[in-house]
Structure 1
Amino acid sequence: MNRLFLCASLALALLLPVASHAAGALGPAGLRSHHSAIGAQLANNSFGGPLVLQSEEVSRRVDGDVYAVLEHPFPAVAAALKDPGQWCEILILHLNTKFCRRSEEQGATRVEVRVGKKQPQSVQAASLLAFTWRPPRMQSDYVAVQMDAADGPYDTRDYRLLAEAIPLEGGRTFLHMGYALSYGGASDFAMQLYLGTIGRDKVGFTRIKAPRADDDGFVGGMRGVVERNTMRYYLAIDAYLDSLSAPAGQQLEKRLQAWFDATEKYPRQLHEVAREDYLQMKRSEVQRQSVAR
């Protein structure tokens, strides 16, 4: 029985990042206002770049937002974000994403994501999250996309993943990526078991107390899970966009290398596997995903 609960808790910990996404889009005016409001934080933070990561945990609800300035022009960002197929190329960079595809069902577009272990795993053994893709909102100076899933595994529900962006001066783009999910008692129990065992040393990026000899003060628990994976998905978007400047045959390797290098800048939070293990696994998973199209 203990082994069963542990397996469930591990699976839930892997699933939460993919499925937890944002409270709602701000819209073009709101996004411009927010960019101005957090200007000081974008210029001075612990990430070494223009990034603000926020999270909130309430009763059986997890919400998070990442705001970042991308060194990529708005047209390129908008073209990538509005295409569910390109989202699959982004999502597959994450360690726990085993497979992703766009599908059409009864006139609706879905983004089907399989998530699982940080090691090689069959598609069938990974858990399915089927997101309904909403038509993107496109303007000359704004793009917004959203995916929703009503239900998920391990007593989770009301998934939302969104991203919106506006152009900035100098060929840059301001990005907001948001996430949210609700979870029930079974999910809560499984997550607490995970965080009390092999996940006890996992932390996020927000420092909630002064460091001590035995405690660096970073947030843990569910907020830590969300913060780690919010950062992973932001880095995936950035790595994907950066790879588009390379010749087509070199783009995959460039984005895989860039994503791993970026995560290694935050080893306390994000280091999980050796470089070559990650690269070999992802090359295989991307090939599997391409063949299945």
Structure 2
Amino acid sequence: MFRRLVSSPLTVFGFLVVFILVITALFAPLIATHSPTEVNIVNKLQPPSQEHIFGTDEVGRDIFSRIVHGTRISLKIGFLVVILSFPVGTILGAIAGYFGGIVDQFIMRTTDIFLSFPGIILAMSIAAALGPSIENVLLALVIVWWPWYTRIVRSSVLAIKNAEFIESARALGANPFRILFKEILPNSIAPASIQASLDFGFVILAAAGLSFIGLGAQPPSPEWGAMLSSSREILREAWWAATFPGLAILFTVLGFNLLGDGLRDILDPKQR
């Protein structure tokens, strides 16, 4: 597995990007050169220089320091949304696929209701109803994301629930829940795990989009989407104010996607 991982230059690049992001988030106070919220009107709209590597914004805040601290916010959102929605979707999908009948119909029809709306539109509606804040964006994205894992796990469970080793477990007298959680689920969770690794980047992008339209992080929070939103009016005279937060989002999403593709090639036998 390690040889397959390092044999792909794109996967290695994605791993390095994610590794740098994690280190940046962990040691943000040590890496940042200035306070991310300190206002200095005298130095507003300063271009990139030795003192301010990425320049300053409309109120003189150091953009590099804000991007560094914003890494914590973005990774936190990505991690929490995936770690909360993944088990919910996985358990519901496993129960629906194994028991079938009315249980399957109820879970999957509920899932279809959520999937019938475009994800970002549904997240916008929920976040707008709850009020603009990072916590409400987290909740909105969790509500939007769990149905995808439910569908993936259900399909995997349907494919293996009548396999010979499952029939052997039934013949030995194992109860349904033991069969489901000890035998079926560990053998059907790989596709959903691969999807979860890919979803980190998409969650961060969705959170940045919600903050960009004013539904997520609020000033003076150094969130990348909010930074892009506040720099729209000064884009012509201060290109750096929007360019560097945009590049941060670009490389973060790219890094997680490349790493997720590499994990898919390793864990999914159909891709070998």
Establish whether TM, by shorter chain, passes 0.5: no
Which has the larger strand fraction? 1
Please classify the TM superposition score into its range, dividing by the shorter chain length.
under 0.3
Q: Which has the higher contact order (CA 8 A, sep 6+)?
A: 2
